[in-house]
A = this chain, B = another copy of it.
Amino acid sequence: MAISAAEVKVLREQTGQGMMECKRALEEAGGDAEKAVEILRKKGFAMAEKRAGRAAAQGRIHSYIHHNGRVGVLIEVNCETDFVAKNLEFQTFLNDLCLHICAAAPLAVRPEEVPENLVETEKRIAREQVEGKKPDNIIEKIVEGKLKKWYAECVLLEQPYVKDDQRTVQDLLTEQIAKIGENIVIKRFARFEIGETESD
């Protein structure tokens, strides 16, 4: 049966799970939202939110260099045990993240980690675009809206995943937490590209 985007959206907001997982659960439940939540719970996805609070002190450093040697990514992803850090599922996840970062060039993992000067510049541009054209009392709201949209473009967890743009990287992460059964934290990354900074 056909599941509407609105139904998927409601289930996602309710469970915090990935778009595809919610769609599949709804299909399996024949469109019954309550049943779909149960299905997700059984699959362990509903546990992910809980797990997200647990300490993640283990993990792995992973890197990816693009074949031309001109772009490279280094990433730290934490989990709870060294056992998980070593497994293939986790390694594949790290590799997918590196490939995504290489292609999508995010500025930071989380909105609060975007450098303050870039946020200020973005706010200023957004404000200048509407100043004088809109009443003062709604300008700040428009600026906030534009900023939110900008974060979705440049913040890793909010970016559409490059291999499947129906999911965000946060969706991918939540799925991994559910699948692996441990809290996972994308701690930090570095992305270097030849020519992106002024040469000495």
Residues in A lying within 8 Å of B, measured CB to CB: 55-66, 69-76, 78, 85-86, 185, 187-188, 190, 192-195, 197, 199-200
Given contacts A78-B194, A78-B199, contact A60 B56 (CB under 8 A): no
Identical copies in the complex: 2
B192 x A58 contact (CB < 8 A): no
Point out the residue from B56, B61, B193 that lies within 8 Å of A72, measured CB to CB: B61
B185 x A61 contact (CB < 8 A): no
Apart from A55-B199, A59-B70, A61-B194, 10 more pairs, CB < 8 Å:
A59-B194, A62-B69, A69-B86, A76-B192, A76-B194, A78-B194, A78-B199, A185-B200, A187-B200, A190-B192
Given contacts A72-B74, A74-B73, A74-B74, contact A61 B199 (CB under 8 A): no
Point out the residue from B65, B190, B193, B200 that lies within 8 Å of A62, measured CB to CB: B65
Point out the residue from B55, B74, B78, B85 that lies within 8 Å of A69, measured CB to CB: B85
Give the Cβ gap from A107 to chain B, nearest Cβ, in Å: 15
The CA of A200 and the CA of B53, in the complex, are separated in Å by 9
Q: Which residues of B contact A197 (CB under 8 A)?
A: 187-188
Q: Which residues of B contact A74 (CB under 8 A)?
A: 63, 72-74, 190, 192
Given contacts A56-B200, A72-B74, contact A61 B188 (CB under 8 A): no
The CA of A171 and the CA of B59, in the complex, are separated in Å by 35
Q: Which residues of B contact A59 (CB under 8 A)?
A: 70, 194
A57 x B199 contact (CB < 8 A): yes
Q: Which residues of B contact A63 (CB under 8 A)?
A: 63-65, 72, 74
In the assembled complex, 16 residue pairs joining A and B whose CB atoms fall closer than 8 Å, in A order, are A55-B199, A56-B199, A57-B195, A59-B194, A60-B70, A61-B71, A61-B193, A61-B194, A62-B65, A62-B69, A63-B74, A72-B74, A74-B190, A78-B194, A187-B197, A188-B192
